Amino acid sequence: LSGIAPGVMESARGMGMSDAQRLWQVELPLAAPVILAGIRTSVTVNIATAALGATVGASNLGAPIISGIVNGNTAYVLQGALLIGLLALAVDSAFERCQRLLQGRA
């Protein structure tokens, strides 16, 4: 929100907008692409690191990787890694589409 040009905020004030109106009608729409980019990065990184939960016994997509490492089965490791990679790519592209929709609308 602090990256919004001061001239834009001054124009909104000059139009007589209240603080709440400036927030909802000016600041958030202009900051939405940056906010969504941060969420996109965070979600993608969290999907990749969630697989680490399998090292402490959590049952998730990292289980085949840990099982494959323990048993020396490369196929399990690849299976788990491909699933996690595909999920991360699918979620990342979904967020990219949302981001493009927001940029096209703004």
Span 35-94, pLDDT tens digits: 888 999 999 888 888 888 877 877 788 888 888 999 999 998 999 899 999 999 999 999
Residue 65: other Cβ atoms inside 10 A: 22
Distance of CA 51 to the CA centre of its chain: 17
The pLDDT of residue 105 is: 63
Average pLDDT over residues 9-30: 87
Return left, alpha or beta for 16; rule: phi > 0 is left, psi -120 to 50 is alpha, else beta.
left
The pLDDT of residue 3 is: 74
Burial of 83 (0-12, 13-18, 19+ CB in 10 A): middle
Of residues 3 and 19, more confidently modeled: 19
Give the chain's mean pLDDT: 86
- Which residue is associated with the tokens 């979620």? 91
3-state secondary structure of 5: coil
Euclidean distance between CA atoms 83 and 31, whole angstroms: 33
Distance of CA 18 to the CA centre of its chain: 31
pTM: 0.70
